[in-house]
Amino acid sequence: MEGTMHADAKIRAETGTESGPRGPGCSLRHFACEQNLLSRPDGSASFMQGDTSVLVGVYGPAEVKVSKEIFNKATLEVILRPKIGLPGVAEKSREQLIRNTCEAVVLGALHPRTSITVVLQVISDAGSLLACCLNAACMALVDAGVPMRALFCGVTCTLGADGTLVLDPTAKQEKEARAVLTFALDSVEQKLLMSTTKGLYSDAELQQCLAAAQAASQHVFRFYRESLQRRYSKS
């Protein structure tokens, strides 16, 4: 497939070992991203965070149904398909989160009365699923050439019973945690675009998690840049 780029990047906030389980404190799992792997959609991307993997296809700007068209901007639609079973209410809720995040960055005013459809398929879920979906959606939108005013990334962090912060948790860590917070941050000023949380936590802990997520997002954006640089430097 022309233009496939497999960019591996081991990103750690502090020095750690090359492979295997990460050390204590803040560090993200192994990232991998592939773009332009599907032939039908205008843009596609597959994003892997550790064992969590999401495949996204973007169609657009394309024709929109008259009932759904907006006269001065593009209509964004997001479809999230779980790995097993039919999409339910939880998927609808996640679709709304992803859609509103994309709407905040996509320059819809450049393509009025069109539709941009983002279709996400969960390939495997090993923790931090929503963050992986957001990252994959961003990469796919870039691959499709949809004009955006910033990139965005998703970061999940968990708070343990004693207040320890773990970034990019595995499924097991998410289950054992007292609180799981997922943030979407933009690339320009690391402002908070989207947030969804589970569990009880205090205000101070929220600010701590947000700061940690903002630091981690820098790594994610650097990974995006390296991945795209490698892709376009070939041609």
Partner 1 sequence: MAAGFKTVEPLEYYRRFLKENCRPDGRELGEFRTTTVNIGSISTADGSALVKLGNTTVICGVKAEFAAPPTDAPDKGYVVPNVDLPPLCSSRFRSGPPGEEAQVASQFIADVIENSQIIQKEDLCISPGKLAWVLYCDLICLDYDGNILDACTFALLAALKNVQLPEVTINEETALAEVNLKTKNYLNIRTHPVATSFAVFDDTLLIVDPTGEEEHLATGTLTIVMDEEGKLCCLHKPGGSGLTGAKLQDCMSRAVTRHKEVKKLMDEVIKSMKPK
Q: Which residues bind partner 1 (CB under 8 A)?
A: 89-90, 92-93, 95-104, 181, 184-186, 189, 191-203, 206-207, 210-211
Minimum Å gap between C-beta 60 and partner 1 is 18
Minimum Å gap between C-beta 188 and partner 1 is 8
Terminal Cα-to-Cα distance of the chain (whole angstroms): 14
Residue 145, CA distances (Å) to 58, 138, 161 in order = 10, 11, 43
Distance, CA of 101 to CA of 99 (rounded, Å):
5
Nearer to partner 1, 69 or 103 (CB): 103
CB 134 within 8 A of CB 184: yes
CB 122 within 8 A of CB 129: yes
Of 8, 57, 38, 37, the C-alpha closest to 230 is 8
Nearer to partner 1, 39 or 67 (CB): 67
Nearer to partner 1, 17 or 207 (CB): 207
Nearer to partner 1, 48 or 122 (CB): 122
CB 57 within 8 A of CB 38: yes
Minimum Å gap between C-beta 196 and partner 1 is 6
Minimum Å gap between C-beta 88 and partner 1 is 9
Minimum Å gap between C-beta 167 and partner 1 is 17
* Packing angle of the helix pair 203-234, 129-144 (nearest 10 deg): 40
Minimum Å gap between C-beta 90 and partner 1 is 6
Nearer to partner 1, 36 or 158 (CB): 158
CB atoms within 10 A of CB 183: 26
**C-alpha torsion 169→175→178→179, nearest 10:** 60
Nearer to partner 1, 19 or 67 (CB): 67
Minimum Å gap between C-beta 198 and partner 1 is 6
Backbone angles phi, psi at 226, to 5 degrees: -60, -45
CB 50 within 8 A of CB 170: yes
Nearer to partner 1, 6 or 109 (CB): 109
